[in-house]
Structure formats: structure tokens, C-alpha cells
Structure 1
Amino acid sequence: MSNSEINIFKQKALQLASSYDVFCYLDSNNYKDQYSNYDCLIAFSKKQEINISHGDAFEQLKSFYEAQKDWMFGLLSYELKNEVEDLKSNHTDQLQFPDLYFFIPEYLIAIQGDDFHLLKGEQAIINTINNVQLNEYLPLPKVKIEHRFTKKEYIATVEKLQNHIKRGDIYEVNFCQEFFAANAEIDPLGTFQELNQLSPTPFAGFFKIYDKYILSATPERFLCKRSNKLISQPIKGTAKRSLDINEDELIKVKLKSSIKEQAENVMIVDLVRNDLTKSAIKGTVKVDELFGIYTFPQVHQMISTISCELNPEIHFIDAIKNTFPMGSMTGAPKIKAMELIDDYEKSKRGAFSGSFGCISPDGDFDFNVIIRTILYNETTKYLSFQVGGAITYAAVAEDEYEECLLKASAIMKVLGQNPVL
């Protein structure tokens, strides 16, 4: 198939999949990635599911996998931190995503290069996809976005967190703010397609769990397993792009050499190394790449890669639990940072800064980080997205606020808002 033909097939398959109660779409947007087996996965028509909002979620997921040993796609909410550690969240939950949700699809289509493979399901579904008439997306009225924090409140809170750093409570914390809309009416599929076109990223995805939607343009991998190897790729370090080619290159050089950004990144690298040690064969944890600079439509990002060999005595689900939640969205030390996040943020994170992805029948898996993502409850019509950044001793509160707006810019534009607030 030609590139244009495979793209049309992908869009038809996505449109068909989105008509089911539950489906998951994972798209690399053709970014080259040595750890990915497919460019795109489309899973739909739920055969079985596991839906947990409290309790021993990881143990139940382990039992579910061992009983089925099939392809499964799912969500790990940030709120699973309360199970991993002795923590709690006091904020109200406007979106009501489950803490953990996985399903086994009846149909699974994989796209690799200019070809597709039906990994699960009857061959007749391919004819059904080819006969789909693509809908024309008609934009709905603009969504009115509100802020949980005023700029003044945000800056004051950053300064309070920096006082904790000065006291030695933490070294770094990922502090986030919510943008939201009540009574929002969107076309989830059309909104995702527009977001994915405006901001294509390597771990993008669209996940529908009945009336709840995750529309993601995330550039970050949380954790993946390939054979006996675990790989984590935290992002810490962001710079705005320039339309001027020469200036854009200079921005990349400046980001690469920034002492502040390197300090933020290396703290999280150390945290991830420590998390991986819990599941690794002794002596195998290593940093494959430190301070790599990767370019996306709106930003340049500093990304490091850490890997290890999984101890064969440790179940891969426990390896996920041992690294969850991801260090890039918490801080260091991790537990104290999460306590302060609950104290100073105004919104329950829920699915935000959690992860979604897939597990293969042989126990390999790949999970992203839920950032640069719209979360939507179709029943309550509540729409939300959160953005944040690393607060360190050297952070400038005003700059951190501007970075939040930069990270929110693509979503703001898709929702009909001026991205500069």
C-alpha cells in the first residue's frame, strides 16, 4: 500500500473503532523508535475487562494477565500511588476515571510502515473498515477554558514549594495546574484528529472507556519491556521552538547545555535508576542516553534513556508497580514530592500523569505518560487538561508559568482558545 492509502485505512479503522464502547488507539506518528514493534495499534470491541477504583489493583491486573495471556490495553491512573505508597488524595474528582482499567480486544490491527496486520479478529473486519465513509469533522463552538490557579496564585505556590526545597524536604517537585471547562461539548474523535495533526508525537493515543475519553499528544514514554529489558525515557527540560531555522538550532544548543535543565533532568534520571533497581538484575541498570534533545512541533525536549535487565524472579507487573508513578511527574525524593503535590495542587490528577498502553501475550509492554492530553467525561460534560513542570531551587516562577502555557498551547488552539493567556 502507498503511504496515502495506509493513512486512509488508518483513519477509517480509527473511525470504526471509535464507534465501540471501548477502544484504544496508539500512534507513533512515524517517529523512529528502536523500542517499538509497530507504528500504530488499533484495539476495539471489548471481549473482557478489569475495572478497579481501589484496592489491590496491580495484583488483580497480574491475575488477569496470567489467566488470559492475551493482548490487553489499559489505563494506570496516577491515583494508584495511594496503593503503591501510604498516600491519599483529598481533591474532588470531576472526571471519574477508574484507577485501573484494562480490556482484551476482539479486534486488533497493527500498522507498520506501508502495511497493516490483523493480529486479532475475523478477516471480515477489513472489508468493513474499507467500506467506512469518512466523516467530515465540523468544529463545535469554542470551549470556554477556566483556570484553577490565577497567575499570581501559581507564582505564590511555586515560591512555597521552593521554601520546602530550601528546608531540604525535597530537591525537585513536578507541580501542575488544571485548565478545565464545565458543560463542554466536543466531538472526541474530531478533536483528537485535530490535536494529533497539530501536535503529532511518538506516544500519541486515543482511549475511550465508555463515556470517558483520553485524547493524548504525549511525547513521553513511561516504561516499556522488550524481552528481558526494561526501558524508561523521562522528559525533563523544555524550550520553545522558533520559526527561524538558525535560531531554532541555537535554542537546541542552549537547551542541551543549560545547567538548570541538566540539573532537573539528572535528578529524575537518578530517581528512575533507583526505581529500576528494585526490579533489575544487580549491576544492569545503566543510562543509555543522557540529555538527548528531541524536537516536536511546539517544543524541544531533553530526554534521557535508562534501562536494565529484568530480574526473572520479578513479575513484569511488579516491575511496573516498582516504578509507578513515573519520576518525571512526581519529583525527588519521590514520596515527599507526592505528598506536597497533594498539598499544593488544587485538582485530583486522576488519569492525568498516569499512563496508558498495551501488554502483549508474551509479557512485553509499552506505556506512555499522560501529559499534553485532554480528558473528557461525556456524561458530565467536564473537560480537563493539566500542565506543569519541574520546580527546583533555581526555578523562576514566572518562567515556569510561561512554560505551562507553552505546553498547553496546542490543546488551547484545538479548543478554539488563544494559546497565549
Structure 2
Amino acid sequence: MRTTQKFRIPNIEQYKQKLLFWGQQFNEVVWLDSNDYRNQYSSYNAVLAVDAFTCIQTDYYNAFDKLKEYQSITKDWLFGYLTYDLKNAVERLESKNFDGLEFPDLFFFQPKKLFLIKDDEVEVHYLGAVDDEMEEDLKDIEALDVASETHISSPNNVKVKLRMHKDEYFEKVNAVLEHIHRGDIYEANFCQEFYAEDTEIHPLETYLKLDAISKPPFATFLRLNDKYLMSASPERYIKKEGLKITSQPIKGTAKRSQNPKEDLLLKEQLSKDEKERSENIMIVDLVRNDLAHTATKGSVVVEELCEVYTYPQVHQMVSTVTSQIEASTNPVDVIATTFPMGSMTGAPKISAMQIIEALEDTKRGLYSGAVGYFSPQGDFDFNVVIRSILYNAEKRYVSYSVGGAITAKSNPLNEYEECLVKAKAMREVLEN
């Protein structure tokens, strides 16, 4: 049972900062922030979940069955992540590439303390075991002096290295194109890692800088002991609200311009770009097929096709696909039958995953996985882990990866330049 309290806050942005700083004392933290992007698909402005009462941590083997059992037994709020390598749990695949980060394949926890922010209202949920701490915690949060906390102790000065150099990237994209021309696949999302070894960063300050540059609708700060995710994700993977399922794949990216006329032209060019539209439509077809596994007959609908959304760093082409499920459908089954998300794999999905596994140098891990939550009612909401910095503090290893969809119309140089556009914010934050 949870003790709940609701109250209004006059300065919600300041309260969000106080909450995030207060949460740093815990070993298990999930912070989700919409940066005030509000539309018909939104639930909360921001959420903070901290301090595990129970948890599940496992490798990919039978991972979704274990998660289903944990979610069914707990029937409470659960927060955590799914790594890309859970693909090995749903198909006969493997992940043998280099892994400098070593995140567990799946982790979820039942938070003792939970804060849900919607508009100017804060809803606090404390488990019975700690509900006597609520009043003192709320006083501590209110008393926090954010101005004194937000000084940058030392700017990052990270020497970022390329796991894959430009010529090798071109060779590998051409190898993907050979598979496409042979008819093995139509599209593959091919990724590369940028990394730094023997490096120390301040995770929260790094997240705040990244968030300030990007202001994305699915920002995430996650901590699991000595492992951190700082994410400026613009993409929702999948959401369940009642019996409605919503997936919003992104495919198609254009840079921004400070010149308003040029910026509008870049947006219009993206909306009409045949290559970008074809990428997006291929993934929409894949998502429709994935959702059909659990959908009631005839309920899969494309609500938005190739809509262009604008964010501080980039314009993005987003589609929205929805379906309805039966009340008897287990929520974890909806995730297991759609994972990994099509925007990070390609089509056909299994062949694309086999090809990119063979060509990429790095195990993706949490990159191109998902972070989110289950509610006590079995609803859920998960983002796609892109535009993200990952950090293993014990190993002093920092990493970010970027990728793009390779199709028959792809030009290796253009794809490489698109990767650099996507990497810009992470590189700025790390290299100062």
C-alpha cells in the first residue's frame, strides 16, 4: 500500500530541479522529463522514482518471462530499462561485440518514493515502509537552494575517440547497401560508438547541460549504482493507456538553422524528402506488423504519417501508430512482441538485426533500448534510448552512439554527416 499526498506548486520548474538534486542520494534513480511537450499522447510533465524496495536484474535469458512474473506479482509502480540485447530473448540472436559499459540486460525496481508532476500539481506516493519519512523529505526538498547546487564544479574536458573511423564507416555502409541490393533487407539502422576511457564526469551536471541544449520530450536521468544514463531522447517507443497502445517511431532527421527562413525551408525539405519518407514508411509498416501480434482485429491505425516535429537541435519526422488490445492481454507481452523497436533495427527485422550485429563494433546495451515504467494498473510508457550519454563510473568509461537508417537510396557521406548532426549535443557537452 502507498500513502499519497497531492499539492500545487507555484514554480514547477524550480521544484523539478530541487527534486532531481534531492534524488541524487539514492542508488536507484529514474527521472523522466517531458520538458513541457504536451499533446494528446502525454501523461506527465515529469516523474521521479527513487530507492528500490524490490527489484529485478537479469541477463536476456527468459528476461521477458521473468519481467512478466515480477510485474504480475508486484502490481505496483515499476521503473527501469530494457537493453537492446533483449533481442536475444525473443529471437535466436546473440550479442558478442565489445561492451565497455556492462549494464545488466534488464533492470526494474519498485520505488519506495515516487513523485508524479502534472501541470502545477505534484502527486507523492510513498510505500508504507517509508511513509513516516514523507513530511521530512518534503521539507528537505523545499529547503534545497538550487542556485548553490547548480554550480558547475569543473567543466567536462573529455577526449572523445571514434570506435569506427570514417573510411571504415563508409565500407560498412556499403556492405549494408550490398545486402539491400541483394534483397536480404530493405533497411537497416547502422550505429557507431564514440567513447572515452579513464575519464571522470559529473553525471547530473552532464545531464543538465545535455537537457538544456536539447530540451527533448523524453529526457531521462537514470542511475543504477555506479552506472548512469543521461538521455535527451526525442522518441517514444511504446505506450499503453487502458486498452490503447501507441508507438511513435522517428525516421528522418534534418539540422536546424538560426535563420528563420532557412530553418523553415529545411523543415519543408525534410517533409518532402522521398528518401526520408520512404525510411519512415518502411518502419511504420514494421510497427503495424509488430502491434498486430496483440491487437484486436482491425484495430491497428496510423494516426500520423511522416509528421515533422521541431526540437532545438533538429527537425524529426515522426509517425504515430496505435492499436487496441484485449483486457486479458498481459502488458509485458505487448512489449515482448514489439521489441526491439523497429526504428532502431530495420526491415525485415530479424535479418536486419543479424546484419547490423555482424557489422557494428560495439554491443549496443542500453543504447537503442528503452527506459520507462509500469503503473499498478498495468499501463506503461517507454522511450527510445538515443541522443544519450552512458557512463560506468567504476570503469571510468563514457560512451555515446549514433546511427541512421540505411536504405537503397542512401549515400554513405550523407549518412555519416547525419550521424555527426545527431552527435553534436553529446559532443558539445562532453568536450566543453
Question: TM-score, with normalisation over the residues of structure 2?
Answer: 0.94
1:155 aligns with 2:142: no
Q: Counterpart of 1:18 in 2: which secondary structure? A: helix
Matched, 1:74 2:80: yes
Q: For 1:62-105, what per-residue CA distance to the aligned partner results, in whole angstroms no more than 9, with x for missing partners?
A: 11111111001011000100011000011122111011100011
Q: 3-state DSSP class of the match of 2:280?
A: helix
Across the two proteins, how many residue pairs are aligned to each other? 417
Gaps of 5+ in 2: 1-6
- Tell me if 1:301 matches 2:316: yes
Whether 1:42 aligns to 2:56 is no
Match for 1:87 among 84, 87, 93?
93
1:131 to 138, 143, 147: 143
How far is 1:201 from its partner?
0.3
Q: Which residue matches 2:160?
A: 145
Q: Are the equivalent residues in 2 in contact too, given 1:35–1:226 (CA < 8 A)?
A: no
Q: 2:119 aligns with which of 113, 116, 119?
A: 113
Partner letter of residue 209 of structure 2?
A: E
1:335 to 2:350 alignment: yes
- Other-structure match for 2:329: 314
1:24 aligns with 2:30: yes
Corresponding position: 1:170 with 2:176: no
**Partner amino acid for 1:212?**
K
Distance 1:416 1:281, change over 3 A: same
- 1:54 alignment partner in structure 2: 60
Q: Is the 8 A contact 2:61 2:88 kept in 1?
A: no
**Could you tell me whether the CA contact under 8 Å between 2:218 and 2:232 is conserved in 1?**
yes
Q: Give the C-alpha shift of residue 382 in structure 1.
A: 0.5
Give 1:164 shift.
Answer: 0.5
Return the letter of the residue paired with 1:347. Answer: T
Larger CA deviation: 86-95 vs 389-398: 86-95
Q: Among residues 39, 64, 69, which one is paired with 1:63 in the alignment? A: 69
Partner of residue 361 from structure 2, selected from 343, 346, 350: 346
Q: Give CA deviations for 1:285-342 in whole Å, capped at 9, x if unaligned.
A: 0100001100011100000000000133421101100000000000000000000111
Q: 1:111 and 1:354 mapped to 2: Cα distance?
A: 25
**1:141, distance to aligned residue in structure 2 (A):** 4.3
Letter in 1 for 2:65: E
* CA apart distance, 1:127: 0.9
Deviation of the 1:114 alpha carbon:
2.0
Report the Cα distance in structure 2 between the residues aligned to 1:375 and 1:351, rounded to whole angstroms: 8
Distance 1:257-1:59 versus aligned 2 partners, 3 A rule? same
SS at 2:192's partner residue?
Answer: strand
Q: CA RMSD in A?
A: 1.3
Post-superposition Cα deviations, 1:153-187, rounded to whole Å, max 9, x if no partner, equal 11111111100000000000000000000011000
Task: Give the SS at the match of 2:154.
Answer: coil
* Deviation (angstroms), 1:111: 1.2
**SS at structure 1 position matched to 2:172:** helix
Q: Tell me how far apart the structure 2 counterparts of residues 276 and 189 of structure 1 sit (CA, whole Å).
A: 36
Q: For the Cα contact (< 8 Å) 1:77–1:99, is it kept in 2?
A: yes
Distance apart, 1:389 and its partner CA: 0.2
1:11 aligns with 2:17: yes
Match of 2:4 in 1: none
Which amino acid is 1:130 matched to?
A: E
